[in-house]
């Protein structure tokens, strides 16, 4: 079974721009969660989508948004990029609540 895939793997953007990251979950998984990993703040939960609906949200500003499509693929968008948004963005999929989450390889975003 194919794992979680994320595209692109690396991105370099300029402050003020926006970016869209994509995640394809494991086949059959309906829940997709996004996390941000930085050296200073560690791993932090952004949001979770299930059946095209946001089911849970972490403490991030409204510049961070996401969506999920009918095939469970998910995208997250960050608008008006700031230097502090430089991070590894990880996507995870699971069957449903409380099941183990399987992570993709991440998208490393650098904001200059």
Partner 1 sequence: AQKVTQAQTEISVVEKEDVTLDCVYETRDTTYYLFWYKQPPSGELVFLIRRNSFDEQNEISGRYSWNFQKSTSSFNFTITASQVVDSAVYFCALSGVYQTGANNLFFGTGTRLTVIP
User: Nearer to partner 1 by C-beta: 14 or 102?
Assistant: 102
Contact positions with partner 1 (CB under 8 A) in 20-79: 31, 33, 35, 42-45, 48, 55-56, 58
- Please check whether residue 31 is in contact with residue 49, taking contact to mean a CB–CB distance below 8 angstroms: yes
Tell me the C-alpha distance between 64 and 85, whole Å: 10
Cβ 61 to partner 1 shortest distance, Å: 17
Residue 12 CB burial class (10 angstroms; 0-12, 13-18, ≥19)? exposed
The residues that bridge with 78 in the sheet, in sequence order, are 19, 64
DSSP code at position 26: P
CB of 3 to partner 1, least distance (A): 8
Any idea what DSSP says for residue 71?
T
Q: Give 70 or 100: the residue with its C-beta nearer to partner 1.
A: 100
Sign, CA dihedral 31-37-40-42, equals positive
Q: How far is the CB of 58 from partner 1 (least distance, A)?
A: 7
Q: How many residues belong to the site for partner 1 (CB under 8 A)? A: 26
Judged by the rule CB under 8 A, the positions of this chain that interact with partner 1 are 31, 33, 35, 42-45, 48, 55-56, 58, 88, 90, 92, 94, 97-106, 108
């Amino acid at each position: 079974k194919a794992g979680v895939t994320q595209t692109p793997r690396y991105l370099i953007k300029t402050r003020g721009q926006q970016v869209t990251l994509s995640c394809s979950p494991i086949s059959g998984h309906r829940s997709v969660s996004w996390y941000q990993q930085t050296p200073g703040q560690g791993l932090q939960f952004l949001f979770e989508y299930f059946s095209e609906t946001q089911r849970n949200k972490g403490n991030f500003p409204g510049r961070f948004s996401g969506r999920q499509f009918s095939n469970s693929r998910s995208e997250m968008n960050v608008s008006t990029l700031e230097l502090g948004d430089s991070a590894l963005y990880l996507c995870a999929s699971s069957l449903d609540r409380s099941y183990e989450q399987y992570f993709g390889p991440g998208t490393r975003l650098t904001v200059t």
